[in-house]
Amino acid sequence: MLIFERSRNGRSAYSLPPMDVPESVLDMEPHLIRKVEPGLPEVSELQIVRHYTELSRKNYAVDVGFYPLGSCTMKYNPKLNDALAESEDLSFLHPYQDEADLQGALELMYNLQNMLCEITGMDAFSLQPAAGAHGELTGMLIIRKYHKVNGNTHKKKILIPDSAHGTNPASAAMVGFEVVEIKSDSEGLVDVEELKKHLDENVAGIMLTNPNTLGLFEKNVSEVVQLVHEAGGLAYYDGANLNAIMGIAKPGEMGFDIVHLNLHKTFSTPHGMGGPGSGPVGVKKFLEEYLPVPLIQEGEGGSYTFKYDLKHSIGKVRSFYGNFSVLVRAYAYIMSMGAEGLKKVSEMAVLNANYLRKRLSERFKVAYERICMHEFVLDNYPVWKNLGVKTLDMAKRLLDLGFHAPTIYFPLIVKEAMMIEPTETESKEELDRFAEAMFRILEEAEKEPDILREAPKTTPVSRLDEAKASRHPVVRWRKEEERGS
Amino acid sequence: MKKFAKSHEWVEVEGKTAVVGISNHAQEELGDVVYVDLPEPGKEVKKGEVLCTIESVKAAADVYSPVSGKVLEVNKNLEEKPELVNESPESNGWLVKLEIVDESELSDLMDEEEYRKFCESEG
């Protein structure tokens, strides 16, 4: 039930004392003044409390249970980071305050820029982009501007492997690039011979997700980057899967020119379903002048200032300085983990994924199976062909068994794909519990497949009609008298 | 008689006109179709080029033209009822009518029996 449906005329959650100041009339252009009531819900305080408490109880989150949503890094986010981000010292800052009043915040951002440089092997970072795909877009704008400044406007082609994140082609296309898909080889890696066929003077760059969405490290990455550079293109690293390589490998040392990170994923902000996110973009020295402004710089006497004078800056990509509260969380996370701690994060993320992969491979087919990084993909095509049960049905059944479903039907190169990323924060017992649930589902598929086809049964709503929702979306609630028109 | 491409489209030729759609096997793999992005009439495509895009609950998939030609007509019913691609992929759920330029292009496509075997070997 929506809170609007609980509304009754005249009910309210507050009572104000009699007004003791004179009423004044709004001095505004008449057309700016609202003529009809805004239609807000009229409910009591108790109704509000019950409504939102009920919603929170229906919600499934990392704080409730295992959330192996591949490519999304749904790890536990330490509460300390939230507490710091919400502290009055930081959350009551106003972006229009003077630099002199913001020294602590600027120092935090300055230090974070440098830490991200160290982690990725890049030379400069902008903290502005508000999410991963926004970082991709920023990276593409930098590539476009770079080629324009160098008189290479004919460079229009962006190469993207078919195992890349799904947002990559969209980000490149939005900037006006022509997207060319590079097929994977039989090992699930970029096919270098295929890549060579597409390399010519029109190549603006490559977008590489590494580890890719199969959870595999691109072992030929240095050669791939070198080939693109020889064709005059720039190399862009989608760092959304950084959780697998921290303290072990650096995109900068692999030869990449531009990288984006998803701070909300790797560096612990509760995320999913719309944010807030943060997708900082790092570059090598020769591209620093292209970054969005402002950067934070250290001035004389240890003070910090905004730096706006970048010769080729693509401009601002977001209001003010990015999603500051996410930056605070990332800073707190990096400071509390330390260099050794971050390395341990990646080691455990990879260990957990391989443990679960190995257990599931007893009964399931793993796509392109070998030692994986932070995630792996099940190929459930045999289950569908032999038992008539789809990956979708199995994912829905997992909800009944108390888990969030993995990512399904992605990457597209695996039929009936189920992409599983356990993250470093889960215990062995939890991984075993998930493996047992998957085995149980397989047994049900063999003996009582209808349980799966009708799942879920124990969730607040049963199976939703996804096709109808897409074909005939109802995106806002209307009052009864407004409907039907 | 229908001819099938390895990329799972079918084409049926009557005179100079070729009707194009996706196979039953293809719609099964795609799942429930929610949107078909049809081309403008008059658009010219070469064999193997993207003819249109089909969006399902799983993914957006490109449909490749099994023959070269000019788009004469698109299946307007799909705008309101994209589910026709699922319900009747090889009849009422057709996508595009093309004016073909080179009938010899049909020769390297598969007939129904060959296509069935091809799908089995692919799975």
Decide if A466 touches B, using CB distance below 8 A.
yes
Q: Are A471 and B58 an interchain contact pair (Cβ–Cβ within 8 Å)?
A: no
3-class DSSP state of A303: coil
Confirm if A337 and A180 have CB atoms less than 8 A apart.
Answer: no
| Residue A20 within a domain | yes
Q: How far does the CA of residue B17 sit from the closest CA of chain A (Å)? A: 30
Positive or negative CA dihedral for A82, A119, A217, A350? negative
- The verdict on whether omega for the bond into residue A280 sits within 30 degrees of 0, i.e. cis, is no
| Residue A64 within a domain | no
Distance CA B90, CA B67 (A): 17
Q: How far does the CA of residue B32 sit from the closest CA of chain A (Å)? A: 6
Write out chain A's pLDDT in tens, 485 residues: 899 999 999 999 999 999 999 998 888 898 998 888 888 999 999 999 999 999 999 989 999 999 999 999 999 999 999 999 999 999 999 989 999 999 999 999 999 999 999 999 999 999 999 999 999 999 999 999 999 999 999 999 999 999 999 999 999 999 999 999 999 999 999 999 999 999 999 999 999 999 999 999 999 999 999 999 999 999 999 999 999 999 999 999 999 999 999 999 999 998 876 678 999 999 999 999 999 999 999 988 889 999 999 999 999 999 998 999 999 999 999 999 999 999 999 999 999 999 999 999 999 999 999 999 999 999 999 999 999 999 999 999 999 999 999 999 999 999 999 999 999 999 999 999 999 999 999 999 999 999 999 999 999 999 999 888 988 888 888 887 776 64
> Among all chains, which residue has been given the structure tokens 């330390």?
A338
3-class DSSP state of A201: coil
Distance CA B10, CA B23 (A): 6
Q: How many domains does chain A have?
A: 3
What CATH architecture does domain B2-122 belong to? Beta Barrel (2.40)
Nearest Cβ partner of A409 from B55, B58, B83?
B58
Residues A313 and A360 in one domain: no
Confirm if A206 and A237 have CB atoms less than 8 A apart.
Answer: no
Residues A190 and A316 in one domain: yes
Residues A322 and A458 in one domain: no
Residues A401 and A253 in one domain: no
Domain ranges of chain B: 2-122
| Residue A68 within a domain | no
CB burial of residue A414 (10 Å; 0-12, 13-18, 19+): buried
3-class DSSP state of A242: helix
CATH label of the domain that carries residue A417 = 3.90.1150.10
Nearest Cβ partner of A470 from B29, B34, B59?
B34
Sheet holding A124-126, edge to edge: A124-126, A281-283, A258-261, A234-239, A203-209, A157-161, A178-182
CATH label of the domain that carries residue A124 = 3.40.640.10
Q: Of chain A residues 239-298, which have a CB less than 8 A from chain B?
A: none
3-class DSSP state of A238: strand
Pick from A205, A141, A143: nearest CA to A175: A141
Element (H, E) at A452: helix A449-454
- ipTM given for this complex: 0.81
Q: CA geometry: angle at A126 spanning A122 and A127, to 5°?
A: 120
Domain that holds residue A205: 81-336
Confirm if A130 and A275 have CB atoms less than 8 A apart.
Answer: yes
Distance CA A359, CA A353 (A): 10
> Among all chains, which residue has been given the structure tokens 């695996």?
A414
Q: Which DSSP category does A268 fall into? A: T
Q: Could you say which of A282, A303, A336 is where a domain stops?
A: A336
Q: CA geometry: angle at A366 spanning A362 and A371, to 5°?
A: 90
Within a 10 A sphere around the Cβ of A127, how many other Cβ atoms? 27
Pick from B64, B61, B54: nearest CA to B105: B64
CB burial of residue A298 (10 Å; 0-12, 13-18, 19+): middle
Confirm if A217 and A373 have CB atoms less than 8 A apart.
Answer: yes
Distance CA B78, CA A448 (A): 36
Which positions ≥6 away from B73 have C-beta within 8 Å? B41, B96, B97
Distance CA A24, CA B3 (A): 78
| Residue A73 within a domain | no
Residues A315 and A403 in one domain: no
Residues A317 and A448 in one domain: no
Residues A199 and A321 in one domain: yes
Residues A352 and A295 in one domain: no
How far are the Cα atoms of A23, A42, A45 from residue A19, in angstroms, in the given order? 8, 21, 22
Residues A96 and A44 in one domain: no
Nearest Cβ partner of B57 from A381, A415, A466?
A466
Distance CA A86, CA A77 (A): 14
DSSP codes of every residue in B19-73? EEEE-HHHHHHH-SEEEEEPPPTT-EE-TTSEEEEEEESS-EEEEE-SS-EEEEE
The string of pLDDT tens digits covering residues B63-85 is 999 999 999 999 999 999 999 99
Q: What is the pLDDT of residue B58?
A: 86
Interface test with A, best of B28, B58, B84, B85 (most A CBs within 10 A): B58
Residues A141 and A233 in one domain: yes
3-class DSSP state of A441: helix
Residues A43 and A133 in one domain: no
Q: What is the pLDDT of residue A37?
A: 83
Decide if A471 touches B, using CB distance below 8 A.
yes
DSSP codes of every residue in B97-123? EEEES-GGGGGGSB-HHHHHHHHHHH-
Residues of A in contact with B35 (CB under 8 A): 470-471
CB burial of residue A359 (10 Å; 0-12, 13-18, 19+): middle
Residues A170 and A288 in one domain: yes
| Residue A243 within a domain | yes
